[in-house]
């Protein structure tokens, strides 16, 4: 997977309906010339990372990089040809070394037969910028354990004759998934992270 796709995956894995409203990723040019890259780490599994300001690695007037953490942001600058080096450093060195092993993400597992309509809530830990491992699955007997795409699916959960025990998911503990963002079509415009259907 190329660096741009991997940064997109890191952004996606942090989108939960709240985070993306306050935080995100910024890639811009400098007039040196060069690049600036700012990634918000607050409320992510990298929030506790520490990286002091290092001396700029200056190889030539157009080949240089620097990076550090400041105010829960990964901040990097580089020459006009150093954008890929910055992204590589973040994804291949910084991220694996600083993922908080106690951090969890809420993800939603597709309910068999109701794919793209109904999901069972679960918890996962981040393994990389795009992969999570499922560490807890909600009790499927409780309506509040589910997320839905449309109000008609919410009504299904509230029908007294409907048995929630009949709802099944294909995921089990320790399974790995590459979740993506689902945007509901209802009036609430809810956004949540979902695991893909298993084939």
What residue segments make up the domains of the chain, in order of their start? Answer: 3-98, 105-194
Alpha helix segments (H runs only) across the chain: 3-14, 19-22, 83-88, 95-98, 151-158
Mean pLDDT score, 164-186 = 89
Cα distances (angstroms) measured from residue 79 to each of 36, 53, 115, 188: 9, 17, 46, 44
pLDDT tens digit string along 2-14?
999 999 999 999 9
SS3 (DSSP) at 195: coil
Mean pLDDT score, 46-61 = 94
Tell me the pTM: 0.89
Q: What is the C-alpha separation between 162 and 117, in angstroms, rounded?
A: 16
User: Alpha-carbon torsion 128, 42, 173, 12, what sign?
Assistant: negative
Is the CB of residue 68 less than 8 Å from the CB of residue 75?
A: yes
SS3 (DSSP) at 29: strand
DSSP-assigned beta bridge partners for residue 63: 60
Q: What is the C-alpha separation between 164 and 3, in angstroms, rounded?
A: 42
* pLDDT at res. 54: 84
> Half-sphere exposure of 69 toward its Cβ, with a 13 Å CA cutoff?
15
pLDDT at 161 over 60: no
Mean pLDDT score, 117-140 = 95
* pLDDT at res. 189: 65
């Amino acid at each position: 997977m190329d660096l741009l796709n991997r940064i997109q995956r890191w952004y996606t894995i942090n989108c939960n309906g709240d985070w993306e409203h306050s935080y995100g990723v910024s890639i811009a040019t400098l007039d040196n010339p060069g690049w600036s890259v700012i990634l918000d780490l607050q409320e992510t599994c990298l929030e506790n990372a520490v990286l002091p300001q290092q001396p700029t690695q200056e190889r030539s007037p157009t080949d240089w990089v620097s990076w550090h953490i400041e105010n829960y942001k990964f901040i990097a600058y580089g020459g006009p040809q150093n954008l890929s080096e910055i992204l590589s450093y973040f994804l291949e060195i910084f991220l694996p070394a600083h993922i908080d092993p106690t951090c969890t993400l809420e993800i939603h597992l597709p309910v068999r037969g109701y794919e793209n309509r109904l999901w069972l809530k679960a918890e996962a830990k981040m393994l990389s910028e795009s992969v999570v491992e499922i560490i807890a699955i909600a009790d499927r007997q409780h309506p509040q354990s589910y997320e839905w795409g449309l109000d008609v699916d919410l009504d299904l959960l509230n029908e007294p004759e409907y048995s929630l025990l009949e709802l099944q998911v294909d995921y089990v503990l320790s399974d790995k998934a590459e979740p993506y963002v689902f945007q509901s079509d209802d009036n609430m415009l809810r956004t949540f992270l979902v695991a893909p259907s298993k084939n």
